[in-house]
Every structure is written in structure tokens, then in C-alpha cells.
Amino acid sequence: MAIQDVKPTRSELIELKKKIKLSEGGHKLLKMKRDGLILEFFEILEKAKSIRAELDVQFNVSMEKVNIAKSVEGTVSVKSTAFSFKDTPALEVQSKNVMGVVVPKIESRSVRKDINDRGYGIIGTSSRIDEAVDAYEVLVEKIILAAEIETTIKKLLDEIEKTKRRVNALEFKVIPELTEARDFIMLRLDEMERENTFRLKRIKA
């Protein structure tokens, strides 16, 4: 079809201008969301690095404590103490909102216990076993916290990538195409107006 055969209307131009304005507004909001998510991501990343370092330290402490307990009490005694535990930690996964992203919030119960609630008899065990148990309870708490933070990081990363794709689609495809269509319609409407003016002049002549 020749360009002269295309006859857009003013209403089409108005509609296109509305779409451009809406797209530009959406683009601005998505950029703000993307930037906010990135800031939040780096904040949580620092927490993740910190908890990971604490986790490594606590793991080494726990291994040291249990090895000391084994050397003092014997491996059989340590294993029998471990098997005497009946109550396991209770985990409840809830959710919280971070910049519009739903991330897990893990609530734990019965991780740290009083010495009388651990299930093994106080008589027949030494303080070395108690220290090993204490260390492992702290380790479990840190593992739970690390799992929550690292899952949050993954969800934030997924949302950042999704938002970046939408920002790029608007910036490099949708808005340029709408702008090009608007410019074409404006150019064509101007041409049509000049043609009409020329035709009216000829009729008058």
C-alpha cells in the first residue's frame, strides 16, 4: 500500500499519544522498582555474606566441640546421646513482602533447649557433651537463617531479571515503535492537510 493511501485520523493520533504517555509512565515506575530491588538485593547480600561467615565459624566450633566430647566420653557415648534426642526443631514457613516480592520468613521453635529437655540423662554425661550440643543448636539456628536469606536473594534476583526485561522491552521496543507510529501519523496528517488546502485553492480558482 502506498503511503498516500494510508489515511490516519486525529483520534488515532490521540490514542497513540495516550499509549506513549502510559508506556513512559510504566517505564519510569519499573526503573524505580528495578533500582529499589537492586539496592535491597545488595543490602541482603551483605547479610548473606555475614551469616555465611558466621555459619562457617560455627560449623568449625561445633566440629571441634564434638571431637573433644568424643575424645573425653568416647564415640559410643556421643552417638547414644545423639540418638536420645526425641524432639526435633519445628519450622514454620511464613511470607513477607520485600519491594513487592513475596519471600519466605522461617520461624523456628525448639532449636535451643534447656539441658533438662534434651532427652539424655544429665548423670552419665559430661559438660563436654553439653557444650557440643549447645554448639550444634547454635549451628542449626544459623543454617535456618542462612536458608531464609539465600532463598530471599534468589527470589530478588529472579524479580530483578524480570523487571529488567520489562524495562528494556518498553525502552527499546514498545516506546520507539509507538513514537515512530505517532511521528508517521503526524507527518501523514500534515500532508493530508496540505493536500486539502491545495485542493480547496484549486476549486476556488
Please report, for the chain, the start and end positions of each structural domain, with discontinuous segments joined by +: 12-197
> pLDDT tens digit string along 3-58?
456 688 889 999 999 999 999 999 999 999 999 999 999 999 999 999 999 999 99
> pLDDT tens digit string along 145-166?
999 999 999 999 999 999 999 9
CA distance linking residue 198 with residue 205, whole number of Å: 11
**pLDDT for res 114:** 66
> At a CB cut-off of 8 Å and minimum separation 6, what does 80 contact?
120
Q: Is the pLDDT confidence value at 202 over 60?
A: yes
The distance in angstroms from the start CA to the end CA of the chain is: 32
> At a CB cut-off of 8 Å and minimum separation 6, what does 170 contact?
23, 26, 27, 30
Averaging pLDDT over each range in 62-76, 84-98, 155-169, which range is the top one? 155-169
Percent composition of the chain: helix, strand, coil (DSSP 3-state, to 5) = 75, 10, 15
Contact between 136 and 78 under an 8 Å Cβ cutoff? The reply is no
10-73 and 175-204 helices cross at what angle (nearest 10)? 180
From the list 136, 112, 142, 138, the residue with the least C-alpha distance to 47 is 142
Q: Is the pLDDT confidence value at 185 over 70?
A: yes
pLDDT band with cut points at 50, 70 and 90 for residue 2: very low
Domain 12-197: which topology? Answer: Helix Hairpins (1.10.287)
> pLDDT tens digit string along 92-140?
888 888 888 888 888 877 676 766 666 565 555 678 888 888 898 899 8
Q: Is the pLDDT confidence value at 179 over 60?
A: yes
Averaging pLDDT over each range in 6-10, 114-118, 173-177, 196-200, which range is the top one? 173-177
Q: Is the pLDDT confidence value at 1 over 50?
A: no
**pLDDT for res 168:** 97
Model pTM score: 0.76
Contact between 111 and 136 under an 8 Å Cβ cutoff? The reply is no
What pairs with residue 91 in β-bridges? 108
**pLDDT for res 175:** 96
